[in-house]
Homo-oligomer: A and B are copies of this chain.
Amino acid sequence: MSTSSQSYPMSGGDDQHSYIHNSSYQKAVIDGVEEKARQYILEKIDLLNLNPDLSTFTIADFGCSIGPNTFHAVQNIIDIVKLKHLKESQGISTHVPLEFQVCFNDLPNNDFNTLFRTLPPSFEQKYFSVGVPGSFYGQVLPRNSIHIGHTSYTTHWLSKVPENVCDKKSPAWNKNYIHCNNLLEEVTEAYKVQFTKDMSVFLKARAEELVPGGLMIALGECFPDDVAMYETWSGIVLDTIGDCLLDMATSGVLTHEQIELFSMPVYFPQYSELERAIEQNGSFTIEMMETTRHPLEAKQLTNDFVTSMFRAFLSTMIEKHFGYTVVDQLFNQLAKKLSKHPLDFEKCKKNMVYYIVLKRNEH
């Protein structure tokens, strides 16, 4: 029942290039906001008011990928809710022990087999797990069925590449660039339109699924309003990957035409753009919207770390467009380019990590 969307899951399985082994950058963010999540959930969610007969508390992670970050995130939420429930039910004799259900959502071609195989062992994992296949750009769970929704580093994946950016006749054609680096105004505009549309669909779907009073927690990256993608270190890495592809076209491994028809369905919004998208939805109240620096950004990330991280992030997409054989060579070249021209994290402009808690309005 989900809308169609282009789908590039994180690298599955658990080999050295998999997302499982290359998700520590995201993990660092989760660790950083853990304490904030704790405080806000304790303050904001009123379990017994949600439903005095509540016996199952349901949590959904939208765009969960394959762990371990998703397991960590949902366990944190459960720990806090348990604490809160215990406090609220003190002195109530009819207190029923709460059961937890966790809905792990991702696209149908996500590697759910690996997700399920790597679930925490049953003595730790005191919740019922279900996998929910479907694009989060559409309703994937029943109305009023979720108490806390969570999504981390997901909505920068657009539902599709904005159509005109791969059209050589359009003023919004992205030429030899492979992502929205903000160097071409019409391209940026096309990405902005798609992002706004997608966020609207995302929030509308979550508004259906969440119970009134339920919380939606969203983490990800955005830019300060005066920063462009090409000025940030991740923008520079993506432009460098674009350069590697051009080198490979020159040496005949792939064609220039292939690059001209490729642009990533990925967009990091500016802060005010993100805020506007949420306010326009109207079903949620922004309880908290904070930004921080990424905890790892202060350090000089190693080239190996950066290469592995972008490989896990991009390989499925690269493989689909350019073919399987290109992946190894591309990321080998990226590693070489990065060692010749190391990223200067001090000079790069900075992304922001956003951390948002939304409350579903009562009807």
Q: Which residues of A contact B (CB under 8 A)?
A: 1-2, 55-56, 99, 101, 103, 108-109, 111-113, 116-117, 119, 122, 125-134, 139-145
Measured CB to CB, the closest approach of chain B to A1, in angstroms, equals 5
Copies in the complex: 2
* Known A56-B143, A142-B56: A112·B130 in contact at CB below 8 Å: no
Is the beta-carbon distance between B56 and A101 smaller than 8 angstroms?
A: no
With CB as the reference atom, state the residue of chain B lying closest to A105. B130
Is the beta-carbon distance between A129 and B133 smaller than 8 angstroms?
A: yes
Is the beta-carbon distance between A122 and B55 smaller than 8 angstroms?
A: no
With CB as the reference atom, state the residue of chain B lying closest to A98. B142
> Given the complex, which residues of B lie within 8 Å of A108, measured CB to CB?
116-117, 119
Residue from B2, B101, B111, B143 within 8 A of A113 (CB atoms): B111
With CB as the reference atom, state the residue of chain B lying closest to A2. B122
Residue from B122, B131, B142 within 8 A of A128 (CB atoms): B142
A116 to B135, CA, bound (A): 12
> Given the complex, which residues of B lie within 8 Å of A101, measured CB to CB?
141-142, 145
Is the beta-carbon distance between B55 and A99 smaller than 8 angstroms?
A: no
Is the beta-carbon distance between B132 and A1 smaller than 8 angstroms?
A: no
> Given the complex, which residues of B lie within 8 Å of A131, measured CB to CB?
112, 116, 130-133
Measured CB to CB, the closest approach of chain B to A132, in angstroms, equals 5
> Given the complex, which residues of B lie within 8 Å of A139, measured CB to CB?
128
Measured CB to CB, the closest approach of chain B to A45, in angstroms, equals 19
> Given the complex, which residues of B lie within 8 Å of A127, measured CB to CB?
1
> Given the complex, which residues of B lie within 8 Å of A55, measured CB to CB?
142-144
A-B residue pairs in contact (CB < 8 Å), sample of 12: A1-B127, A55-B143, A99-B143, A103-B130, A112-B112, A113-B113, A116-B131, A128-B134, A128-B141, A130-B130, A130-B132, A130-B141
A115 to B159, CA, bound (A): 23
A117 to B125, CA, bound (A): 27
